[in-house]
Amino acid sequence: MRIQRSFKDNSGAGTLYLVPTPIGNLEDMTFRAVEVLKNVDLIAAEDTRNTGLLLKHFGITTRQTSFHEHNAVEKIPVLIDLLVSGQSLAQVSDAGMPSISDPGHDLVQAALAQEVPVVALPGASAGLTALIASGLMPQPHVFYGFLPRKSGQQLAFFEEKKHYPETQIFYESPHRLVATLTNVLSVYGDRQVVVVRELTKLYEEYQRGTVSEAIAYLTEHPAKGECLILVAGYEQSQHKPDELTDQTIIDLVAQAIAQGQKPNAAIKDVAKRHKLNRQVVYKLYHATN
């Protein structure tokens, strides 16, 4: 067991600071974050051009070095040598908290292995910011970050999580929102969902409703910008996801067809996925089409 006393004597090693940056609105930068970035010896940035604009805005002249998922393997030993020699380093991502969807976690582990103190600064986090204004239960919650891109992998992921009671938070591309929500509807049923886009920016928008309502709205109004999906957790009192209403079954078939499947293939797929009689699904769909 190791005890870190962050601001006591650390035997000559430097400190690794994890510094959050604004997720959109530059006014969300903290005074402490600005001071740390001014006083460290080096800033490890996910994109030096992007961070350079931030540094210029706040009059920070500290030298940067590029540090991202594609160069992390060769960069981490160099950064650790710098820290062990007594210099201090700030790691920043393009937006929000370091170590979330970037290689910061690997750097933290390497620093801890060398008994280099690691100090995190509080600041902007898109997932939590969206959660507390979503109207969904803020706790318990679970943050997953980006979802698998392939539909089959995504469906398998949702199958594992469909009975979790926590509010679930995901990052998603605006171009994949409808397809992802269709998979949510298919596995979770028509739960409450909140789609958030352009958080803290001029066009910030919260779309609150059921999954099917969100799909209908986004089909008519395609999303732009950075997006999050928040899905209500499973409740024992609610219908299980596979206890679908007739209208939901019809909607699932229609959505599969809209994504490129032929009607009979869509009917077969929906019936198989939800353990339904294919003829029942066939009659339901064709009764309204």
What is the average pLDDT value for the chain, to the nearest integer? 91
Average pLDDT over residues 175-187: 95
Q: Which residue has the tokens 């979770």?
A: 188
Mean pLDDT of 135-147: 94
**Across 58-62, 148-152, 217-221, least confident range:** 148-152
Compute the residue count for the chain. 289
Mean pLDDT of 227-242: 76
Specify the pLDDT at position 237: 53
One-letter identity of residue 29: M
Q: Dihedrals φ, ψ of 20, to 5°?
A: -75, 150
The pLDDT value recorded for residue 239 is 47
Q: Check whether 11 has a pLDDT greater than 80.
A: no
Give me the residues paired with residue 44 across strands: 65, 91
What are the DSSP calls for 1-16, one per residue?
-----TTS--TT---E
